[in-house]
Amino acid sequence: MPKQYHIIYRKKDCIGAGACEFAAPELWHYDKEKSIATLKDPLAKKTDEQEELIIDEANLARHLEGAQVCPVSIIEIYDLETGEKIHPKE
């Protein structure tokens, strides 16, 4: 089984920069009317507060790109097996 990662996007803290969609438009959608981003993956679990998604290692690099450009660092990525925070590093 491929290595998996857990993405947690704290969308309540989104400032509406749209950088995640610019960096990875196949993964993120920026809603201009609401000034907030959302994960495109239909498997993402979404609430008003946050969105969560489990991804395979094959998709890690693109998700990491989207997370790294977020100016408020609210896209967190964890190693699902170890719980280690991959991004953002503190």
- Counting the structural domains of the chain, the total is 1
28-33: Cβ within 8 A, 24+ apart: 28/66
pTM for this model (two decimals):
0.93
Q: Give residue 2's pLDDT.
A: 85
Q: Give residue 1's pLDDT.
A: 75
Range of the domain at 37: 4-87
Spans in the chain with pLDDT lower than 50: none
CATH of the domain at 40: 3.30.70.20
CB 3 within 8 A of CB 55: no
CB 5 within 8 A of CB 60: yes
CB-side neighbour CA atoms (13 Å) of 26: 5
